[in-house]
């Protein structure tokens, strides 16, 4: 679940990479021109060499960033695919038993609480489980009422 959220949050798109490149390059253009001017004492040479060098580096950085982002996202997707493939056969009675056991869970950890609530929500939203939705909702309500006064609820 965390991997999927990380991928959704990681929206370092080509557009964002472009703007990051522009801002970074504006700073480095002026620094490069300043160094060239200090070394040569020639303002025209500083602007010419500095601008040409930084323009090439800008293009290089933009493509590097785009390739890196694509590579990173592919690796993350592969990792998600590996962790999401589970083939479990459960009947309704087993799901109701799991739901009941989760409803009895007593936790003071916010992450555990949120994970169990997410489990309940996913079951309730599943169209196939309409037949046992009332049981699951009952278990969810009991779980929530059991945790309503916890410090992480405030």
Query: Would you list the DSSP string of 123-142?
Result: HHH-GGGGGGHHHHHHHHHH
Distance CA 92, CA 103 (A): 16
Query: Which of 61, 35, 58 minimizes the C-alpha distance to 47?
Result: 35
The top-scoring range by mean pLDDT among 96-105, 109-118, 132-141 is: 132-141
Whether 139 maps to a domain, the answer reads: yes
9 and 75 belong to one structural domain: yes
101 and 78 belong to one structural domain: no
69 and 102 belong to one structural domain: no
Query: Which of 91, 104, 94 minimizes the C-alpha distance to 139?
Result: 104
The top-scoring range by mean pLDDT among 9-18, 64-73, 78-87 is: 64-73
Whether 26 maps to a domain, the answer reads: yes
76 and 111 belong to one structural domain: no
- The whole-chain average pLDDT of the chain stands at 82
pTM: 0.44
**Structural domain that includes position 24:** 2-84
Per the structure, how many domains does the chain have? Answer: 2
Whether 151 maps to a domain, the answer reads: no
Distance CA 64, CA 58 (A): 10
Whether 107 maps to a domain, the answer reads: yes
Q: What is the mean pLDDT of residues 72-89?
A: 73
In sequence order, which residues have a C-beta less than 8 Å from that of residue 136 and are 6 or more positions away?
Answer: 95, 96, 99, 120, 123, 124, 129
Phi-psi category of residue 90: left, alpha or beta, with phi > 0 → left and psi -120 to 50 → alpha:
beta
77 and 119 belong to one structural domain: no
Residue 27 reports pLDDT greater than 70: yes
């Amino acid at each position: 679940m965390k991997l999927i959220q990380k991928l959704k949050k990681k929206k370092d798109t080509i557009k964002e990479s472009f703007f990051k490149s522009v801002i970074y390059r504006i700073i480095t253009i002026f620094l490069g021109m300043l160094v060239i001017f200090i070394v040569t004492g020639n303002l025209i040479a500083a602007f010419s060499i500095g601008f040409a060098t930084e323009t090439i580096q800008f293009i290089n950085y933009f493509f590097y960033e785009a390739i890196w982002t694509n590579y990173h996202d592919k690796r993350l997707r592969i990792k998600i695919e590996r962790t999401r493939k589970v083939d479990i056969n459960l009947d309704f009675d087993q799901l109701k038993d799991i739901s009941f056991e989760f409803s009895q869970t007593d936790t003071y950890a916010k992450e555990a609480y949120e994970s169990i609530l997410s489990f309940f929500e996913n079951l309730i939203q599943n169209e196939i489980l309409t037949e046992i939705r009332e049981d699951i909702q009952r278990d969810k309500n009991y779980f929530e009422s059991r945790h309503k006064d916890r410090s992480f609820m405030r």
